[in-house]
A and B are shown apart, each in its own frame.
Chain A
């Protein structure tokens, strides 16, 4: 913890990166700083509750990550900021998956319930002989180069993925970009103030920086 830089609180737009001990915090914050924005890394429930903008990163297993959020008493403040105060939140990779109703990694567990859906492993049938984990840059199809994807002129862009589970939303709402690994799955999501990416924008070279900038400007 001593290695983290805690910034002063009195910045106009406070981007809060939720640190529950399982995210690649350093990568996320260095990308935000590269874009010239300030951000605050914290596990303080009060700061999370009052955040202007939230980023929920995640590397690890679904069940353990949810338990850790719960142990640190961060779930209620997060939901307060997102559901009551309608603050924008970006979930990245596992952080995106945790927004679902439930997950099956390491046994069944409940998620944050921000997106109606479940998180399940790619099945052998779906993979059709492809490898899992799905690791590397993959081409994603962007039907609409506006909003979250503003500035993306081409219909496709390469983003970096590393996962063996993916979120299966119950409805088509918010599914703004798809990727194919054996089968199509949702790689980017936006529904009102809830943003999510299965890929890692902070690891996707300049395409990822562009997307993060769009979120910070949202």
Chain B
């Protein structure tokens, strides 16, 4: 049986890894901090997938981001998706040559659908993760946002993501801007508003603060993977503990593997 996934999302802005709350960013540490103080290499053995997003608010520097991605992924033997600022086939190529297995796209889904089609043609549909940032506005309706959450797509969410049916996107990453970084748990109502999600895998993001939240996400039949980008809620051995908790509660959800010492020694 296909297992569900526990995904760790890292947000990167101009040389720093960030904590995001409702899409407002706060600097946490550099690559060096992540590797030496966060012990990322060890943590990487307790997740099913890694997503690294360049959410730089100012001018992006793809060369530096790719170098960071390489350094980060060198000892990380899980699938890695990367994105942020992909505007051409070459941008995607560069990420795929720097340790990424999949690419994450957001703004081009709405602004340049032809690029999405070409990415799928070039790398295969399974390589393209469509990311949708969703916010419930004052009219109580959900809307999709692009450009790091700054620009609202003025159509209802169902119409706005109709590109799912075109078959160019292999997975959907749904992030709640309202819950982002709050630690209040996932927004499951979003899933009711999204058509077509029965056809491709869905990654739910935004709001997980503890193992119980992650488990609640995995328990939902519409969800194939849960993601957290909260560097502090899962500090130290937090992700390992959360994984162990999920395995105790519902072992069927997640994959298991021997410890690295058992295999390498």
Contacts and interface: CB of A to CB of B under 8 A. Distances in A.
A135 B80 CA distance: 13
A24 interface: yes
A206 interface: yes
Interface string B67-103: 0001001110111100000000000000011111110
B262 A133 contact: no
Contact of A59 (B2, B4, B123): B123
B72 to A, nearest CB: 11
Interface SS, B side: loop
A136 B73 contact: no
A205 interface: yes
B153 interface: no
Interface in A104-157: 105-106, 130-139, 151, 157
Interface string A7-47: 00000000000000010111100110111000000000000
A83 interface: no
B79 A133 contact: no
Contacts of B161: none
B257 A205 contact: yes
Contacts of A205: 45, 77-78, 255, 257
A59 B254 CA distance: 25
Contact of A135 (B100, B198, B224, B263): B224
Contacts of A132: 199-200
Contacts, number: 144
Interface residues of B, number: 48
A151 B239 CA distance: 28
A162 B101 contact: yes
A171 interface: no
A181 interface: yes
Interface stretch (A48-56, A69-77, A187-195, A196-204): A196-204
Contact of A60 (B100, B124, B200): B124
Contacts of B121: 61, 64, 106
Contact of B123 (A60, A134, A164): A60
Given A26-B97, A205-B77, A136 B126 contact: no
Nearest to B66: A3
Contact of B4 (A24, A26, A136): A136
Nearest to A58: B124
A209 interface: yes
A157 to B, nearest CB: 8
9 contacts: A26-B70, A26-B97, A26-B99, A60-B122, A64-B122, A94-B124, A138-B2, A162-B170, A200-B79
Interface of B: 1-5, 45, 48, 66, 70, 73-75, 77-80, 96-102, 121-127, 170-171, 198-201, 224-225, 254-260, 262-264
Given A31-B77, A131-B224, 12 more contacts: A35-B264, A59-B127, A60-B124, A133-B170, A133-B171, A136-B201, A136-B225, A137-B255, A138-B3, A160-B255, A205-B77, A206-B45
